[in-house]
């Protein structure tokens, strides 16, 4: 046997890692870094694969294009915001709801990914604002509705249809998060958030 044959037999080529064995967060983290660096329109599937150190085939087995990856990235980031915002230890569900909505708006408005998308790729957001609800919107509605129902049970929130009340609250919150910077300077956003607090608190008040 030749030396080359011996080497090949002793050191077989590593098997390709199955697509389902790759940590999804690793790919989404790579997409997040690229989005902040160059914007969504300049990202390619090849760029994401290279940054995540996976094959393009691995990406295409999970997502059809960059838009789909960014959509899932947004769902992940907004879920993190919801988890971090609605963790108040306030004594009533009404207070937890109001605190959570204001905190979520503040975190969303200042999120680097949202700021980058608004700055260079605002058209990406239009379908979710004008045509359909995305998965992250459904998660936000569920969180708000949960606290409204809890508030109606403990008496801190007035009667009504929690589903429609949640939609009204989310519509207000979205406008404060997306349009807030147009209405207030960076130094005045805290004042804007306090107005949102008053608005939501009075809307769900039982009195």
- What digits encode the pLDDT tens for the residues 58-87? 999 999 999 999 999 999 999 899 889 987
Sequence-ordered alpha helix ranges (H) in 155-207: 162-178, 180-183, 189-204
Element (H, E) at 73: helix 66-85
Q: How far is CA 19 from CA 5, 63, 79, 149, in A?
A: 31, 12, 24, 41
Identity of the highest mean pLDDT range in 122-136, 156-170, 176-190: 156-170
Cβ-based burial of 120 (10 A; exposed 0-12, middle 13-18, buried ≥19): middle
DSSP classification of residue 12: P
Q: In percent, how much of the chain has pLDDT > 90?
A: 70
- What digits encode the pLDDT tens for the residues 100-154? 999 999 999 999 999 999 999 999 888 888 888 888 899 899 999 999 999 999 9
Which tokens hold the place of 154? 């403990």
**What is the pTM assigned to this prediction?**
0.82
Asked whether the predicted pLDDT for residue 169 surpasses 60, the reply is yes
């Amino acid at each position: 046997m030749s030396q080359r044959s011996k080497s090949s037999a002793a050191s077989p080529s590593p098997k390709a890692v199955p697509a389902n064995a790759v940590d999804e967060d690793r790919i989404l983290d790579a997409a997040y870094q690229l989005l902040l660096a160059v914007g969504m329109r300049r990202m390619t599937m090849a760029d994401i694969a290279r940054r995540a150190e996976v094959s393009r085939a691995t990406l295409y087995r999970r997502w059809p294009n960059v838009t789909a990856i960014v959509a899932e990235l947004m769902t992940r980031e907004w879920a993190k915001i919801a988890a971090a915002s609605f963790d108040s230890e306030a004594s009533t569900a009404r207070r937890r709801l109001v605190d959570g909505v204001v905190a979520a708006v503040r975190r969303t408005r200042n999120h680097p990914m949202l700021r980058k998308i608004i700055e260079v790729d605002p058209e990406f957001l239009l379908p979710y604002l004008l045509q359909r609800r995305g998965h992250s919107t459904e998660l936000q509605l569920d969180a708000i509705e949960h606290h409204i129902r809890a508030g109606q049970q403990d008496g801190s929130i007035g009667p009504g249809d929690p589903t429609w009340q949640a939609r009204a609250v989310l519509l207000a919150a979205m406008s404060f998060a997306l349009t807030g910077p147009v209405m207030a300077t960076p130094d005045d956003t805290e004042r804007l958030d306090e107005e949102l607090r008053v608005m939501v608190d009075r809307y769900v008040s039982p009195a």
